[in-house]
Amino acid sequence: MNISKTTQINKETVIRKWFIIDATDQVLGRLASKAATLLRGKHKPVFTPHLDLGDHVIIINAEKIRLTGNKLEGKLYQHHSGYPGGLKTTTAGKLLSENPERLVFRAIEGMIPHNTLGSEITKKLRVYKGSEHPHQAQQPELFSLE
C-alpha cells in the first residue's frame, strides 16, 4: 500500500529569497500585482493562505514608473488628519514627482491583505527612487516582469 504524506510548512522551514524588480518603463499596476504575488508567496507550490511564506522584494528606479491613460491628473490619493476639514488630496502626478517611493509602495500595499498578516508581509518590501540600494549582501536575484 502506497500512502503519500502531505507536509505542512511553517515559518521556520520556509526558504526566503530576495528579488530585485527594475521599475523603469513598467506600468504601475502590473508591477504592483507581480510584486504582491512575490511578497505573499503565491508563486510557491507550498503556498498557505494563513502563513507569511513570501520573499523579500526590492524595487529600484521608482521615479521611472509609468502610468497609463489620464491617471497622472485623474487618479487621486486622499488621507484625513482626523480634524474637521482635514481631508488632504493629491494627484498621482504630484506624488510621482515628489515621492515616487510612496506611490509604488501604496499600489503594492493595496494588493496585500489588510490585516496583521498583511502588515508582516509589507515589511519585506523596499522601494528606492534610484538604482542604488543597500541590500547587496543578501545577493538579490533580478526578477523579470515579462
CATH number at residue 43: 3.90.1180.10
C-alpha cell belonging to residue 19: 528579488
Say how many Å lie between the first and final Cα of the chain, rounded: 45
Q: What is the pTM of this model?
A: 0.91
The mean of the pLDDT values for the chain is 94
The answer to the question of residue 3 being in a domain is: no
pLDDT in tens, 79-98: 999 999 999 999 999 999 99
140: exposed, middle or buried (C-beta count within 10 Å: 0-12, 13-18, 19+)? buried
> Is 113 or 9 the better-scoring residue by pLDDT?
113
The answer to the question of residue 83 being in a domain is: no
The answer to the question of residue 138 being in a domain is: yes
Enumerate helices (H) and strands (E) in the chain, giving the number of each: 5, 6
The answer to the question of residue 7 being in a domain is: no
Q: If pLDDT is split at 50, 70 and 90, which confidence band does 8 have?
A: confident
Print the domain residue range for 104. 18-67+99-142
pLDDT at 122 over 90: yes
What's the helix, strand, coil split of the chain in %, to 5? 30, 20, 50
The DSSP element (H or E) to which 110 belongs, if any, is none
